[in-house]
Amino acid sequence: MKLNRGIRIALWVVPFVLFYAYIWRKGFEYPVVDDIMINQTILSHENMLLPYVEIGLSTLLVALQKVFQGWNIYFIFLVLSYCGSISIFNDFFYKKKLYVLIPLTLLMQCVLIKYFSFSVISYLVAAAGILLLFNQSLVMGILTIAIGVSIRPQIASSLIVLVLPFLIYEILKNKKWKEMLILIGIVLSINVSNKVYSMTRPDVQEYLKWNELSTNLRDFPEINYEKHREEFEKLGISENDLIASTYWLFAEKKALNNEMLEKIQSVRSITEKYSFDIPQFIKDYFKNAILVAYLIVFAIWFIIFKPKNIWGWLLPLTPFILIGALFVRQRVVERVYLPLMVSFLMFFLIYSPEFYEKRQWFKKKVVFLCIQGILLIVGYKWLGFMKQEWYWFPTIKDSMNVTYHQVVEKYPDQLIIFGGYGTLVNAQPSLSTFRIRPNQVVSNTTTLGNWQTFSPHYTNLLKRYKIEDTDNLLSSAVNNDEVIFFWYKESGSMNRIITIFKEHYQKTVYFEEIKKVDSEMSIFKLKAD
């Protein structure tokens, strides 16, 4: 009994030790800029992160950050959530006596470090919570699901669809209606809490409306202006308006307002937003080494294991249906489909004894081990054939550009507008650390467009630099010594901004170089005669 408890405790601890050892050996940085933005917001004690983080969770993280000011609460929270979900999967494999699969979860933990982002972690935690809820761990299940869905509420619908066959099985066989109702209740309550909060804040409602329009424009394929030139001209939308709205130069509501965003999207047809080219889907699918490997895994599974019933044949279809939906949506990106694949695989393997049995030939251990060895060799050779780069375990060095960071330090009393988030990120130390380091938190920088533009956090930032018209940063920056631009000298964005003023205000502006930083970058001020 003591041995059993000791093993289970060890399986809970190992993912945390492995993560720490990995980042100590390889280094670590957030792979997605969204997490940097969220981390910065929490460090600045702003709790409004809608629609990406539930209001209750963000408020709690900010409260903890105020108490433990020397610690990076958001990063610590993500690590605990990430490693905790892996520990839950390990515990399930141990209880189901699927010991051989435990190393698989640890391997996937390492692989997914490359995609260590709140969206991915949200899927893993919520999936682990559903497993707990439907397997007699009511309180822990509710808590874990609530945490997972709160990290990113938008994942709830796709996750429930992903695991729906397992949930239906639990309802039909084990009569777990109560658990299903609890799951639905958690998802609804989290979304309702966000809705109720936004209803009490007109500024938040306005921001969320803009964010929805702005996101819908960029999360679909780029609109070809020439193809729709006649329509755009009738609507009074120039090519520059389209490019500025699409490529993160929209911090000027008088020119690029909600009405314009709605007009732009009205031009896009259904076939431009969604693709229904099945032959192209198939071609693209088999060009993706990860997706092909996933298909091969299930093909091999059916060679080795025999379904006990119809459920066994139908279960693997679910992830491929959702992947197909991503092809239709034209959003087949690794950080989106990988957590779907991994979450489903955890459910599939944990429930596999219910639906599958080993085929007679593979019941012989020698044969089974030989097959495993052959598959490993074939898999390795296949990866080489596909020319798939072995980038899963890269050594990550600090990406901070010292020269750029010196600019931030030299102008602490001015608002610095970066040409893009890549430059902004490179101008500061990595935020993915447990402890807050000196000069790590940069608070006087922004861009001309990101998903936080026009949010309360963004508004508060601009007001600190005496910018009262926070909806129109460009107009406010003209002849304003408190606002400087840190951009590439040859940036086409400067011409875009000049054109915005010409087309919308009939005003001539120009960028005055006030300091050369290096061969590529300079500091500018926006001027008008």
The reported pLDDT for the residue numbered 425 is: 85
Q: Is residue 311 part of a domain?
A: yes
Residue 181 shares a structural domain with residue 221: no
- Domain stops at, among 219, 252, 270: 270
Residue 207 shares a structural domain with residue 186: no
Residue 245 shares a structural domain with residue 106: no
Residue 50 shares a structural domain with residue 172: yes
Nearest to residue 356, comparing CAs of 310, 317, 297? Answer: 310
The reported pLDDT for the residue numbered 392 is: 58
Nearest to residue 140, comparing CAs of 186, 103, 105, 109? Answer: 186
- Kind and range of the H or E run holding 272: helix 270-273
CA dist., res. 449 & res. 217, Å (int): 13
| Number of structural domains the chain divides into | 3
318 contacts 341 by C-beta, under 8 angstroms: no
- Domain stops at, among 385, 412, 439: 385
Residues ≥6 apart with Cβ < 8 Å to 303 = 359
Residue 264 shares a structural domain with residue 346: no
Residue 359 shares a structural domain with residue 327: yes
Residue 105 shares a structural domain with residue 7: yes
The C-alpha angle with vertex 209 and arms to 203 and 214, in degrees rounded to 5, equals 125
Residue 210 shares a structural domain with residue 356: no
Q: Is residue 392 part of a domain?
A: no
- Domain stops at, among 246, 270, 294: 270
Residue 50 shares a structural domain with residue 175: yes
CA dist., res. 380 & res. 372, Å (int): 12
Owner of token pair 């990290």: 151
- Output the CA–CA distances (angstroms, integers) from residue 70 to 38, 451, 453, in the order listed: 17, 27, 28
CA dist., res. 350 & res. 95, Å (int): 10
Going residue by residue through the chain (529 aa), what tens digit of pLDDT does each one get?
Answer: 666 888 889 999 999 999 999 888 888 899 888 999 999 999 999 888 888 999 999 999 999 999 999 999 999 999 999 999 999 999 999 998 888 788 888 888 888 888 899 999 999 999 999 999 999 899 999 999 999 999 999 999 999 999 999 999 999 999 999 999 999 999 999 999 999 999 999 999 999 999 999 988 988 889 999 999 999 999 999 999 999 999 899 999 999 999 999 999 999 999 889 999 999 999 999 998 889 889 988 988 898 889 998 889 989 999 999 999 999 998 898 888 999 999 999 999 999 999 999 888 766 666 656 666 666 666 556 555 555 444 556 677 778 889 999 999 999 999 999 988 888 888 889 999 999 988 888 889 999 998 899 999 999 999 999 999 999 999 999 999 999 999 998 888 999 999 999 999 999 999 999 999 998 999 999 999 8
Domain that holds residue 225: 202-270
